[in-house]
């Protein structure tokens, strides 16, 4: 009985580590289905988003789960010589991103424009440059790629990690903070997502370049539901576009790997940035409006409380009777 209070936190900590490691591994296996370079570098790498989410929600103490899961994933790819270095980069990148976001007072609600910009430039661009540099350097040191292919591999690696952050982090944070929707708004959100799927199925398989037709639906989601509507639209668009690029179909047909990567990542980054920043701007505007409404309500209550005193002071003074 005396040991139970001591063991209980460690037990919860162990469960958290197992959950993070399992999610990381599952996300890695899904991401590798779209690998474009060396069966290992993918344009959309979900584990980076999972890793950063784990650190944001559970703290930096969850880094061992990320490191172990990353090592297992890379060791099973057949090149164990670079698995340690690549897993170190996969762990260091999210940790650096987390520390940068924490330093700049990042809020999980993503209700401020500065939070969206911090997630983009610090959590995604800066933090994932660490993992891409270490991972690509490990591939070059082990001979998996030559020196001439360093920057092309680095660009695919970096943008894949960036997209994992920009797509998954806003989605999970939005669902986590979402309130229960009214039936009418829930039906509207379901219709929005269904339309996004239909449009992306056509755009990702048609030889005509129609990928950017999805933007009205992404903007619709940002205006009406903020991150709760925009983040799923961005996820659908990026996943289906990445799938088309990996298969070399639709607008990506007859293109080499480099041009497929450039076209895909230009689309993915544009969708993610547009939806994320626009959602944050709308959320910030709505919060400012609610603050103004609360202030007006408080002023109205104050005026009503002092109204009897003002009315009494406004009465003309009474004269004493003349004698």
Q: Mean pLDDT for the chain?
A: 85
DSSP state letters, 131-179 = HHHHHHHHHHHTTSS-GGGHHHHHHHHHHHHHHHHHHHHHHHHHHHHPP
Q: How confident is the model at residue 310 (pLDDT cuts 50, 70, 90)?
A: low
pLDDT of residue 91: 94
Q: Where are the domains positioned within the chain?
A: 10-308
Higher-confidence residue of 311 and 140: namely: 140
Section 115-134 average pLDDT = 92
Q: Residue 2's pLDDT band (boundaries 50, 70, 90)?
A: very low
More confident residue, 275 or 304: 275
- Residue 214: which of 202, 224, 199, 228 has the closest Cα? 199
pLDDT at 44: 81
Q: What are 133-161's pLDDT values in tens digits?
A: 998 898 888 877 888 878 878 887 888 89
Write down the pLDDT at residue 143: 78
Q: What is the mean pLDDT of residues 47-73?
A: 93
Q: Is the pLDDT of residue 25 over 60?
A: yes
24 has pLDDT over 70: yes
pLDDT of residue 247: 79
pLDDT at 244 over 70: yes
Its sign, for the CA torsion 282, 112, 172, 87, is positive
What does pTM read for this prediction? Answer: 0.82
Higher pLDDT, residue 15 or 181: 15
In this prediction, residues 248-259 reach a mean pLDDT of 82
Place of tokens 């999805």: 214
The pLDDT of residue 5: 46
State residue 35's pLDDT score.
Answer: 67
Q: pLDDT tens, 173-189?
A: 888 877 778 889 989 99
Report the alpha-carbon distance of residue 158 to residue 24 in Å, rounded: 18
Q: Which whole number is the average pLDDT over 36-47?
A: 71
Q: What is the pLDDT of residue 264?
A: 85
């Amino acid at each position: 009985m005396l040991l139970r209070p001591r063991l209980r936190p460690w037990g919860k900590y162990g469960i958290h580590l197992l959950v993070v490691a399992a999610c990381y591994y599952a996300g890695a296996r899904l991401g590798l289905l779209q690998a474009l370079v060396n069966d290992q570098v993918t344009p959309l790498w979900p584990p980076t988003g999972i890793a950063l989410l784990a650190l944001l929600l559970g703290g930096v103490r969850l880094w061992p789960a990320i490191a172990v899961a990353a090592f297992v994933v890379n060791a099973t790819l057949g090149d164990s010589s670079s698995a340690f270095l690549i897993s170190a980069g996969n762990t260091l990148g999210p940790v650096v991103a987390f520390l940068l976001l924490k330093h700049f007072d990042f809020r999980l609600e993503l209700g401020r424009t500065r939070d969206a910009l911090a997630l983009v430039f610090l959590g995604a661009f800066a933090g994932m440059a660490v993992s891409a540099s270490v991972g690509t350097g490990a591939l070059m040191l082990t001979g998996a790629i030559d020196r001439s292919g360093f920057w092309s591999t680095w660009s695919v690696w970096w943008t894949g990690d960036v997209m994992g952050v920009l797509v998954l982090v806003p989605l999970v944070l939005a669902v986590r903070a979402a309130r229960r929707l009214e039936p009418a708004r829930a039906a509207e959100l379901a219709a929005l997502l269904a339309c996004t799927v239909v449009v992306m199925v056509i755009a990702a398989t048609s030889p005509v370049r129609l990928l950017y037709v999805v933007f009205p639906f992404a903007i619709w989601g940002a205006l009406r539901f903020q991150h709760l509507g925009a983040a799923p639209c961005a996820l659908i668009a990026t996943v289906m576009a990445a799938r088309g690029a990996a298969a070399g179909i639709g607008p990506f047909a007859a293109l080499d790997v480099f041009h497929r990567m450039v076209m895909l990542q230009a689309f993915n980054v544009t969708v993610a940035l547009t939806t994320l920043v626009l959602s944050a701007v709308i959320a910030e505007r709505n919060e400012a409006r609610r603050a103004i409404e609360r202030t007006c309500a408080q002023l109205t209550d104050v005026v009503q409380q002092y109204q009897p005193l003002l009315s009494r002071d406004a009465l003309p003074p009474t004269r004493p009777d003349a004698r």
